[in-house]
Amino acid sequence: MYNSKIIGVGHYVPDNIVTNDDLAKIIDTNDEWIQERTGIKERRWAKEEDKETTFTMGLEAAKRAIKNSGLDKDDIDFIIFATLSPDYYFPGPGVQIQEALDIGTVGALDVRNQCSGFVYAVSVADQFIKTGMYKNILVIGSELQSHGIDKTTRGRNISVIFGDGAGAVVLSREEDLSKGILSTHLHSEGKHALELATEAPGMGTRWVTDIIEENNPDDLSYFPYMNGQFVFKHAVARFSEVIIEGLVKNNLPKEAIDLLIPHQANLRISQFIQKKFGLSDDQVFNNIQKYGNTTAASIPIALSEAWEEGRIKDGDVVVLAAFGSGFTWGSVIIKW
């Protein structure tokens, strides 16, 4: 048995900054409402002419993570790519990364767990490394939200929240079992699947041809839908539960947390968790103010920025926690 350890982090966000005031020009909203309810000041939305996609952003983040790990691209044994906004309906972007990095025919797995995608992906990578099957795994979370949201007043409860970007990590075999990823916990509750979802196109519901045929301007099924307050209530409860689950598993008191990196869903959710666990501002990392919610990319972007800012030191207990569509949620406890 081995442990897995994050040995390289990297992130990439598009240059184009969209402020709340910019949104107020196209949507009936305002900076005060957005900041008060979500904490978001601005987000990145890739410009159409820059031809950035979930794959291209993920690739850039991956290159930075590999460089940062000190490994060569050819040392990567396996790729895991988490996203809800793939370039193609199928195949997923994992294979695009394999091709672009030119790393032989290593396996590429796509994870579809939305805001929990990165935590799920890390958990899968951890199991592969623990059993000895793979030694170095590239895990990517990347999202291009801006092309798929309703940027009108009709969709304002969603469109002001979501942003584009990518983050990646390299996980590697660690022989010292007191270091690296100590545990991961994953959960789901599918009865709430449609409380936060994009329903169409789906093979089991309505395919693209049906949508075209119906030509219904009021059809919103291909835009994300979110029952905001319902999601909020579940998020705060599940974040707490799954962090506690991880701490208990490792006999760690909440005071042992050096840095909590929650999925960046809403600053109010992070602040609720911070208060509940009695953590100081130094112990919780938030960057939703700059990027909005980048779903599967939010934790790896935050992890990469926290690392760059020197907020993570050897031996620190770092906790990752996510909640999102599905509902799905999970946590990762790391001894850095």
Active site residues: 115, 263, 293
Residue 178: C-alpha distances to residues 74, 133, 170 (Å): 28, 20, 19
Least Å from the CB of residue 161 to ligand COA: 6
**CB closer to ligand COA, 30 vs 127:** 30
Q: Side chain identity at 191, as an amino acid letter?
A: K
Give 137's DSSP letter. Answer: E
* Binding-site size, ligand COA (CB under 6 A): 21
Three-class SS of residue 20?
helix
Which residues have a Cβ under 8 Å from the Cβ of 304 and sit 6 or more positions away? 9, 10, 11, 61, 64, 65, 167, 168, 169
Nearer to ligand COA by Cβ, of 64 and 263: the residue is 263
Q: Could you count the other beta carbons within 10 Å of the beta carbon of residue 25?
A: 8
Of 271-330, binders to ligand COA (CB under 6 A) are: 293, 323-324
**CA dihedral for 309, 63, 9, 18, sign (positive or negative):** positive
Give the pairing type, strands 78-82 and 107-111.
parallel
Per-position x/- string for 147-176, each x denoting binding to ligand COA as judged by CB under 6 A, each - no binding: ---------xx--x----------------
Q: Does residue number 4 form part of the binding site for ligand COA (CB under 6 A)?
A: no
CB nearer to ligand COA: give 130 or 263: 263
Q: How far is the CB of 111 from ligand COA (least distance, A)?
A: 15
Nearest residue (CB) to ligand COA, 54 versus 266:
266
**What is the CA angle 295-301-304, rounded to 5?**
155
- Out of 53, 266, 283, 286, the residue judged to bind ligand COA by CB under 6 A: 266
The residues in 27-86 that bind ligand COA, with binding defined as CB under 6 A, are 29, 33-34, 37-38
* C-beta neighbour count of 69 within 10 angstroms: 22
**Could you tell me the smallest distance in angstroms from the CB atom of residue 198 to ligand COA?**
13
Residue among 64 and 234 whose Cβ is closer to ligand COA: 234
**What is the number of the residue whose Cβ is closest to ligand COA?**
228
Residue range at the interface with ligand COA (CB under 6 A); choices 65-73, 132-140, 229-237, 271-279:
229-237
**Closest separation between CB of residue 107 and ligand COA, Å?**
28
Q: Which is nearer to ligand COA, 145 or 266 (CB)?
A: 266
What 3-state class would DSSP assign to 5? strand
DSSP per position, 16-66: -EEEHHHHHHHSS--HHHHHHHH---EEE---GGGT--HHHHHHHHHHHHH
Q: Which one, of 232, 231, 241, lies nearest residue 192 by Cα? A: 231
Contact residues for ligand COA (CB under 6 A)?
29, 33-34, 37-38, 115, 156-157, 160, 226, 228-229, 231-232, 235, 265-266, 269, 293, 323-324
